[in-house]
Structure 1
C-alpha cells in the first residue's frame, strides 16, 4: 500500500484556517452577554472598599459581582494543580480577590452587561479603595526577605528543591580547574495570536453547562468547572474550538474567568462570554523564564566536566497554581547530552508581586540549556580549545543508552534517556553550518570591515510525559474513518498527523480519515496538549486503537471470505486476499457486517440482518468478548518519558557602531525518533527558532520598583519581525524510541530551547565579550563593549 507515515503530507487544516473558515472562540456567542473585569492597578494592596453605586443605573448592566457574591467551592482558593513534596508553601489565588491583591491585574470584580463596550464602561465606574502595601519586585528583593508577598511566609520561599547525583564536593575538590560565574535570565511571555477566552451557556431543563474555552486542556477544564461549581462532571461539557496558539499559557486550569463566566451563565440562565484583550494578557495571564543562576564547574585539562554545582533562584510570581514544574524541568534538563561525574542543582522558587509563572514553550529548558552551554563555552575559552571539541569530549555515547543520570523528572519518575546518537548530531551540525571553514569566512569578513561570529548549543528534551492519552477509531458504514482524542490543538497539525497514523495502520486512503480533538462530548478522559507530548501520547493511542480495529476487520472479513485472517491485507480501504485481489470486500462492507441488525435501513444494512445469507445460527450475533461496530478505544500510558535531542548553530554579524545583531545563518539538526511528517516537524522547529530568537535578543518584561509592568503592549514589548528570522537550515537524525509502538519522540519545543545559548555563543565569538544574560539587547552589548575588562579575541572557536 502507499506509504503515508513518515511522508511530508500537506497539512489538511491549513486551507480552512488560512481562508477565514476557522472557528475560534470569538466567532461564537455573538448574542451572548459580555463579561469584563475590574483588575488591580496595584502590585500589592488591601482592598478596603468596592463602591458600585455609580454603575448601577447604566443602561445595559446585568450584574456586578465581587468575592462576597461567591459561595461554596467557588469561594475557596483555586486548586494547586501539581503538588510536589518540595512545594511546602504553595499558594493560589481566589477567583476574585478576597481582600488582598498581590499583582497588577489580579481580578477584583466581574461585570456582566449586554455587550463588551458597556461592560468595560461600567467597570471603569466602579470605585475600589486600596491600602497600598510595599511590593516585592524582582529576585534580589525576594531573596532579601525584608518585604513579604504572603504575610505567613517569612522568606518568600515557595519551594526548595535539590537534584544531585555523584559527590559534587569531592569531585570539585579534585578538579584541576574550576570556573564560577553568575547569569541572569529575564522574564518573558508567550504572546499567542489569540488570547484566552471562555463562552458558556446553561441548560436549565437539563441542569447542564456547555463551555467553550480557548484552552490546551479541555477535559481538565471540565473537571475543574464541575468541582468548583459543584456539578456532576457528566453535566459539564467543555469544547476547545480552533485555538489560536497556546505555548503553555493555556494549560493553567482553571483560570478565574473559566469559572466565573460559567458561574454567571448558570446564575443568570443566559449565555455569557469573555475574551481577553492584549493588555489583560500582559498583566493577568502568565509569564515565564525569570531566573538567577550561580554556576560552578570543575573540569580537567582536556575539558572534561568533572563536577557541576548550580544554584538557582526562580521567580514564581505571586502564586503557584501549576506547582514548580518550570524549575524542576530546569534542574533535570540542564545537563543536556553531557555526563559529568557529579552534578548538583539547588533551586529556591520565590514569590514576587508579579504575574504568576507557568510553562512557556521550552518550560524551563531554555534556562537550563543557557546554563550548561555557557559553561561549555567558558571551559573551551579557558583552555583555548574548539568549542565543539569540548562538547564532544563530554557527550553520552550511543552504546550507553538507556542512560540514567540519576535524576527525578517532572512526573516523579526516574529520568532515563531512552535512545540517541549525540556524537552523530554533533558531526551533522558541524557539517551543516560549515564550522570547519568558518575561520576563512571570518578573515574575509574582517577584510570587508565586518564583524562575524559563530556559535552553537546542544540540548536534550524530555517529551511524551504521562500519565496517559487515549484514542478512538471508528469505521462508518460509508467507509469513512472517524478518529477522536481528548487533547486539544493549537496549530500543531494534529488533524494531519493523527490521520496519517490511522491511515497507515488501517490501510485506508488519507482522505477517508477525519479527526476530532478537544471535545469532551467525544472523548471524556484526557490530559492535554503541552510538553511536546501530543504525538507521542495520542499518536500511539490512536495507533493502538487502529490496530485493534484492523484486527477485528480482518477477523470479520475472514469469516465472510471463508479464509484465514492471516491471509488478508487491507489496501486503500479494500480487504483482500493476499495475492488474489479478486477475493475482496470493501472496509465499508466489513463495517456493516460488524453490527448485526434487526432492521434493514438501507440496501447495505441488509447484509447484517438476522436473515442475511452468512448469518450463523450456531453463533451469537455478537461474540462474548466483542461489541457491535467496527471501532475501538485504546489508551497509551508510558512507563516514562522519551527524550528527543538536537543541536543548533548560528552565524551572526555585529554592527560595532550600533551593536545591532544580524543572524546570517541558522542551522538545526534534530532527533525526534521516527518522523510522522517531516514537514510538520520542520514547521514546529522553525516556529520555535523564531521564539528562541525573540528570547535571545528582544523579549523581556520590564517591571518598575512598584510592580508596574512598563511594556504591557505591543508598542513597547519587543518581538522579532518575520524579516528578522533567518532562513533555517534543518537536518534530521532518526533514532527510534524503544518505549512506544511508533518509535516517536516529541518535537514541539525543540526550536526554542537552545536559541539564547546558541546566539550568545555566536555574539561572544564575534566580539570577545562575556554574555551572561538573556536576552541581550544592543544597549546591553554597547555597555559590555565599553566595560568588559576581559574583552579579547578569545579564539575558542
Structure 2
C-alpha cells in the first residue's frame, strides 16, 4: 500500500485521545521505581567530588561493617573482569586513522575525570543504610588540574593515556578546495562565531535500574528506564560482560521522558547488573535529581566559526564551518556521531549552496559525557545555518524572508554537497504559510506600539530541515555505525479478530499505543480499541533498535506495515478459500474481503477465526494461524522541514525578553494523529526556547565543579513563560516509506532556538547590538545593550 492510499484510510488523520493517558493520569503507570522484586537490596554510588584526580586508595572497611550493608564494590573489584563501556559509532580522521577511544570503566579505579564519576557502589538492605555507608567510604585523591575549556584542552593535562592531547578526532566533510575557490571569487563573505550552550536533560522520571539474578537459570532480568532495551542488552552482554545475550532480559516499562538522555548504556547500569549477579539478589537504584544533574549525559556544547560566500545578489556560493565539540570525560554511546554525522550532513539546510566544507574537532574534557539530546546534532546545525543566513541578509540589505527565498531548494530529489539527498519538500509553501499565520504584514504596527511603551520588538525567522530515521543501515554502517538501524514489528491476530502488535520501537511519551493502534486499525478495518501495542521488553518483542531520531512511525511503523502486508496476503488466501474464489480476485477494504465483480464478502473477524479453527481451511497450502513478523530497513533518511517565526518584546531597562508570538509551519509528511503531533511540536518548541533564553550548563573553569547543578541554578521553562503557539502544516509525503511520514518529535527543538535569537537581535539592532549567545538571559541582554552604548 502506498502513502497516498494509506493517508485516505479511516482513523488516519484523526485526533484520537491517547489510550495510554488513562493509566498515566490516574496514577496507574508502572515505572522502574514502582517495581519491587523479591530479596531486593538498594544501591547507592559514591561519586567523585573532584573533576580530575588520581585515586590513591579506597578504604571501604568501616562502610562494610555498617548495619545492613551487603557489600561495597570498588573499581578494583571490577578491574579485568569487565570490558569497556562501548561507543556505538566509530569516527575516522581524514587520514583514515580511528578516533581515540579510551577505556570507560563502570567504576573508576585509578583516576576520576569529572565531578560525579562513580568510584564505589554500596549495596545494603535499605536505601538509608546504603547512603549512610557511602558516607563512610574514604577515598584518598591526588587532585589534578581539570580540563574545562575545549580551546585549551590540547595544552591541558591528559585525561586519558590514550589521548595525551585530549583530542578524540578531527572529522571533515566536503570539498575544501572547491569551497576555498568559491570564497576567493565571492562578492561578499559573512562571518559569524557561535556558541551552542550545554544543556542538562531533566526528564520528569530520573534514571532508574532494578536488576535481579536467578542462580537456577543463570539469567539476569534488568528493569531500566531506557529508550532502546535491545541495544542496552547488546552493549551490556556482547561488549562489557561477555555474557550470552539470551541470558539477559531487559525490560523498559513506562518511562517518564527520555529526550535522548535514556538511549545510552550508563556505567550505573553495568555496575548494578554486575553486583546483582555477584550477590544473587535484586539491586535497585533510582537517581536523585542532584545525581542526574551530575551524571546524565548532557547535550550540545559547541563552539563554531562559520562563513558564507555570496554573489552580489545574495545567492549562496559556498559555506565553511569549523566546530569544537565537547565530548565530556568519556565517549557515551552515540557521542562521536552527534557533532559529526548528525550535524555536518545537515549543514546544507534548505538552501542551494553548491559547496559546503566542515571540520569538527572532538575534545575530552573534565565534564559529564555529552551525547544525544532532543534533535541530536540537527539543532546545532540549524542554529548555525539560520543564524548565519539571517546575518547574511542583514549584511546584504535583504530581509530575513527574502534571503531565504532567494536560496531555497525548489527541485527534488536534491543532492546536497554534504552526502544527504532530500527526497521531497516545499520550502516556499512552509515560508508563505508561516508568514500568513504569523501576520507578518501587521508586524510594523506592533513594533510601533511596543516602541510607544518604551519596549523593543523584533521578529526572527528559522527555516530548518532535519534528517530522521537514522537509517538505512548500510549507509549508517559506512559512516561508522556499529549496529544496524532497522526496526522490527510483529502483528499477532487473535481468533476473535483483535490484534496485539509487538514493536521494537519504544514509547516514553510519544503516544505509540495510540498512533500504532490507529495504523493497524486503519489497515485491518478495526476499532483502535481492538489493537494492543507491546514494547520495551526483550523477552517479548523481536529485536528492535528503540526510539530516537524521530524514527518511530517512519521506521517502526513501516515495519508494522510490512507485517500487515503479510497478514493481508495470507488472509486473502483464507478468504478466497471460504468464498471459493481465486485469491487474485479478492480485495480487502474496510475490514471486509470481497470478490471482484460479485456480491460475495467475508468479514476480517471470520477469516481470523478460520485461521485458528481450521475446519474449512486450505491446509495443503497454508499453515494455521495469523501471525507475521517483518523487519524494515529504509532506503533513505526522512526530511522533516519547516519555517518558524518568533516575535519578542524586550525591556531595554531590564533586559527581560518576552516571547509574544510564536508560529510554526512544519512538513511532517502524512500525519496519523494531529493531536499527538501538535503535542510533540509544543514540547519541542518549549525545550528549544528554554535553550535560547534560560538553560545553561556551566562548569567552574578552575575547579571543574558544576555550577548549575540544581534548579536553583539551572532555569527550566514554565508554561507561563510562553504565549499560545500557532501551528500549521504542509504535507509532502515521504517517497520511500509506505506511510509517507517524516517524523515530528524533534522539530520544535530544532527550529525554535535560531528563531528566538534572530528575533532578539532584530529587536536590539537599533541599539547597536550585533550578536548575543544563548541563553539570552535578562542579564546578558542588558549587558549587551550597555556594551553597545559604551
Match of 2:66 among 55, 58, 66: 58
Could you say if the C-alpha distance between residues 284 and 300 of structure 1 is closer, same or farther in structure 2, counting changes exceeding 3 Å? same
Pairwise CA distance, 1:529: 0.6
Match of 1:696 among 672, 692, 696: 692
Note the alpha carbon deviations across 1:206-246, whole angstroms, 9 max, x for none: 11111111001100111223233332211111111000011
Alignment check: 8 A CA contact 1:644 1:745 kept: yes
Aligned to 1:794: none
2:721 is the counterpart of 1:724: yes
Structure 2 length-normalised TM: 0.93
Partners in 1 of 2:620 and 2:713 — Cα distance?
A: 66
2:257 is the counterpart of 1:245: yes
Aligned to 2:5: none
Pairwise CA distance, 1:772: 3.8
Aligned to 1:81: 88
Alignment check: 8 A CA contact 1:149 1:156 kept: yes
Partners in 1 of 2:542 and 2:576 — Cα distance?
A: 34
Alignment check: 8 A CA contact 1:43 1:707 kept: yes
Could you say if the C-alpha distance between residues 330 and 779 of structure 1 is closer, same or farther in structure 2, counting changes exceeding 3 Å? same
Task: Map 1:304-703 onto structure 2 (within 5 A).
Answer: 304-321=315-332, 322-328=334-340, 329-397=342-410, 400-408=411-419, 415-466=420-471, 467-570=485-588, 573-576=591-594, 583-595=600-612, 605=613, 608=614, 612=615, 614=616, 621=619, 623=621, 626-703=622-699
- 5+ residue gaps, structure 1, are 409-414, 596-604, 792-797
Structure 1 length-normalised TM: 0.92
Note the alpha carbon deviations across 1:284-334, whole angstroms, 9 max, x for none: 121111111112222123221212111111111111132411111222212
Alignment check: 8 A CA contact 1:476 1:588 kept: no
Note the alpha carbon deviations across 1:319-364, whole angstroms, 9 max, x for none: 1132411111222212210121221111111111100010100112
Alignment check: 8 A CA contact 1:463 1:643 kept: yes
Pairwise CA distance, 1:579: 8.2
Deviates more, 1:775-784 or 1:559-568: 559-568
Task: Map 1:35-184 onto structure 2 (within 5 A).
Answer: 35-70=43-78, 73-74=81-82, 76-86=83-93, 87-143=98-154, 145-165=155-175, 167-184=178-195
Aligned to 1:771: 771
Could you say if the C-alpha distance between residues 739 and 73 of structure 1 is closer, same or farther in structure 2, counting changes exceeding 3 Å? farther
Partners in 2 of 1:139 and 1:787 — Cα distance?
A: 26
Alignment check: 8 A CA contact 1:200 1:272 kept: yes
Residue 141 of structure 1 aligns to a residue in which SS? Answer: helix
Match of 1:8 among 8, 15, 36: 15
- 5+ residue gaps, structure 2, are 1-7, 472-484
Alignment check: 8 A CA contact 1:141 1:147 kept: no
Partners in 1 of 2:623 and 2:654 — Cα distance?
A: 71
Pairwise CA distance, 1:437: 2.4
Partners in 1 of 2:610 and 2:598 — Cα distance?
A: 22
Match of 2:708 among 708, 711, 728: 711
Partners in 2 of 1:71 and 1:140 — Cα distance?
A: 33
Partners in 2 of 1:480 and 1:505 — Cα distance?
A: 13
Aligned to 1:599: none
Alignment check: 8 A CA contact 1:532 1:746 kept: yes
Residue 520 of structure 1 aligns to a residue in which SS? Answer: coil
Residue 423 of structure 1 aligns to a residue in which SS? Answer: helix
Q: CA RMSD in A?
A: 1.9
Residue 498 of structure 1 aligns to a residue in which SS? Answer: helix
Residues matched between the structures, number: 757
Alignment check: 8 A CA contact 1:508 1:570 kept: no
Alignment check: 8 A CA contact 1:83 1:323 kept: no
Partners in 1 of 2:104 and 2:556 — Cα distance?
A: 32
Pairwise CA distance, 1:503: 1.0
Partners in 1 of 2:194 and 2:506 — Cα distance?
A: 36
Pairwise CA distance, 1:54: 1.8
2:782 is the counterpart of 1:785: no
Partners in 2 of 1:588 and 1:231 — Cα distance?
A: 44
Alignment check: 8 A CA contact 1:84 1:323 kept: no
Residue 170 of structure 1 aligns to a residue in which SS? Answer: helix
Residue 24 of structure 2 aligns to a residue in which SS? Answer: helix
Residue 653 of structure 1 aligns to a residue in which SS? Answer: strand
